[in-house]
Amino acid sequence: MLYWVLIYLGLSFEGSFIISMAFPASFRFLGITGAFQHDPKRSLLPSLIQSLLPLPLFQIFFNLNILYLLGFLITLMIGLSFVLALIPCINRRFKKDFGVSTLEVLNIIIKTIHGEEEGKRELEEFFANNSVVGDVEYTIYSFRTKEDKRHKALFVIPGLHPGPLRGLGGSRLSNILSEKLKDENVFTFHAPSTHTVNPVREKDCKKLSESIRKDLQLLNYSDKASRFVRIDEEGIVGAQRFGDNVFTNLSFYPEPAEDVHASVGKIISQIGEKHDFPEVGVVDSHNSGERRVSSVFYPTRRTKRIIRTAGKIFNEINEEETENFKMGISSKVGYEETGIAGEGIKVAVFEVDEQRSAQILVDANNMNKGLRGKIQGAIEDLVDISEIHTTDTHEVNTLLHSHQPLGSKISSKRLIKDIRELLEDAIKDLEPVEVAVKTNTLDGMELMGPINTGRMNAVSETIFSTVPYALILTFTFQFVLTLFIFAMVW
């Protein structure tokens, strides 16, 4: 491609060949240094081989004079010099702040994304240096059949954040809970939480499954539930009573929002407790996203508004009668390369006092703006009221802060078709059930904390903001300077 551009610009056949063979060496040099072995000295020879090998053959057939061979060397030297000057500029910020180079961190991230245990260990140690130890609350809703006490489903609001990127920390949280509690039909919802409560090590997610397994032996079940109610005023809050306890969800739809901070969920659960609900689980539905949207922190205006709405929902749910209820579930997996991770789509349908409600959970990281409403409108004939949630899994994120919400890789038509089929299956599966609710605490969890969250932001800013512009300027300047020298000398 470069060869034909140079021919079009009027360079000779020999000059175009020389530049097109030598110029890419600088790209390879930077790529090998960044992706594989962040030592420039070790990267030099592999970068030059592809440019040097054709040169003897070309010399034999076309008998280049010494000036063209000199031009080849000058082009190589210009490119490699620019890259050698660029690398310290890319690395400077990380070297200063964290003691490791940007390219070293990028190298570790690439290995982690590709499932290499060495990369995962190195990145875990990187984040462990400034981790914090915290106690994390979680809430479970265990459903079993009323007649034969067979386990039906398990709703988990984990308290941990499922990040920061594929293969690291809590990114596989929903998969791990399903694997370790494989007989429970686990629905892992997204708790109000940010990257500060990412587990540092993936193995720590197993502590949650172990604690839940113990909880399941100590539950008292109730056969009562209320209808699902929702208030859409200053933010959306939905709620349903299960026994004396409440399942609550938050959404800012149609406005885009990122993670809701844990403090907001805690304030809302405390308000529920003041309304005499012993256990109040709060879900961040995470169902309206947009690139570069910030997380939702207390005491911003939008959090104060949704907290007021939550106060109203508790008053309303207090007035709801509880009745015997039915539950049906269904699920579908196998959505590789669609922005949906391994847990796929899960549906739970409840039938209470002639109302059919649906909780639809997709193992994805947020949703395209407007998709929630489109899905709800397409299933109105099957259920009276519904909510669509995502798990906020970061298994679909191959880079820090990359944006791949539900709907960006799968058509809404296919998504709606599958959800309708799952709802029909869940309705067929409806049967009387009982429910038990328990909130517990995981003590002494190693979490990424605010310093490491700042590190992730620094990585993202460096990789996505600084590096692309630096590369464009560097290689453009290299190209122009090379052409100028050839024009002046040859």
* pLDDT tens per residue across span 420-437: 999 999 999 999 999 999
- Report the distance separating Cα 48 and Cα 80, nearest Å: 10
Average pLDDT over every residue of 52-65: 73
Give the pLDDT of residue 487: 65
Of the pLDDT bands very low, low, confident and very high (cuts 50, 70, 90), residue 362 is very high
- Any residues with CB less than 8 A from the CB of 185 and at least 6 apart, and which? 151, 152, 153, 154, 329, 331
Residue 171 · residue 162 · CB < 8 Å? yes
pLDDT tens string 335-347 = 987 889 999 999 9
Judged against a pLDDT cut of 90, whether residue 3 lies above it is answered with no
Give the pLDDT of residue 114: 75
Judged against a pLDDT cut of 60, whether residue 227 lies above it is answered with yes
Average pLDDT over every residue of 441-461: 79
- Any residues with CB less than 8 A from the CB of 187 and at least 6 apart, and which? 153, 154, 155, 156, 346, 348, 359, 361
Give the up-direction half-sphere exposure of residue 467: CA atoms within 13 A in the CB hemisphere. Answer: 20
Give the pLDDT of residue 490: 55
Structure tokens of 484?
Answer: 């100028």
Give the pLDDT of residue 344: 97
List the beta strands (DSSP E) in 58-161: 132-145, 151-157
Structure tokens of 254?
Answer: 């149609």
Q: What DSSP state is assigned to residue 465?
A: I
Residue 344 · residue 406 · CB < 8 Å? no
Average pLDDT over every residue of 5-23: 66
Supply φ then ψ for residue 239, to 5 degrees. -155, 150
Question: What string of H, E and C letters represents the secondary structure of 37-60?
Answer: CCCHHHHHHHHHHHHHCHHHHHHH
Give the pLDDT of residue 38: 57
List the beta strands (DSSP E) in 146-286: 151-157, 186-188, 224-225, 229-233, 235-242, 245-251, 280-284
Of the pLDDT bands very low, low, confident and very high (cuts 50, 70, 90), residue 277 is very high
Average pLDDT over every residue of 189-212: 94
Residue 325 · residue 379 · CB < 8 Å? no
Q: Where are the alpha helices (DSSP H) in 154-204?
A: 173-180
What residue spans define the domains of the chain? 2-112+453-489, 132-447
- Any residues with CB less than 8 A from the CB of 333 and at least 6 apart, and which? 342, 343, 344
Of the pLDDT bands very low, low, confident and very high (cuts 50, 70, 90), residue 207 is very high
Q: Directed axis angle between helix 449-461 and helix 117-128, to 10°?
A: 120
Supply φ then ψ for residue 323, to 5 degrees. -135, 170
- Report the distance separating Cα 25 and Cα 48, nearest Å: 6
Average pLDDT over every residue of 92-99: 72
Which helix (H) or strand (E) is 459 found in, with range? helix 449-461
Residue 324 · residue 223 · CB < 8 Å? yes
Judged against a pLDDT cut of 70, whether residue 291 lies above it is answered with yes
Average pLDDT over every residue of 464-481: 69
Please give the model's pTM, rounded to 2 decimal places.
0.85
> Among 275-284, 315-324, 455-464, whose mean pLDDT is lowest?
455-464
Q: Where are the alpha helices (DSSP H) in 397-448?
A: 412-428
**Rounded to the nearest 5 degrees, what angle is found at the Cα of 436, between the Cα atoms of 157 and 152?**
80
446 exposure class (CB count in 10 Å sphere: 0-12, 13-18, 19+): middle
- Report the distance separating Cα 437 and Cα 289, nearest Å: 30
* Higher pLDDT among residues 42 and 160, named by residue: 160
Q: What DSSP state is assigned to residue 204?
A: G
Structure tokens of 457?
Answer: 């932001």
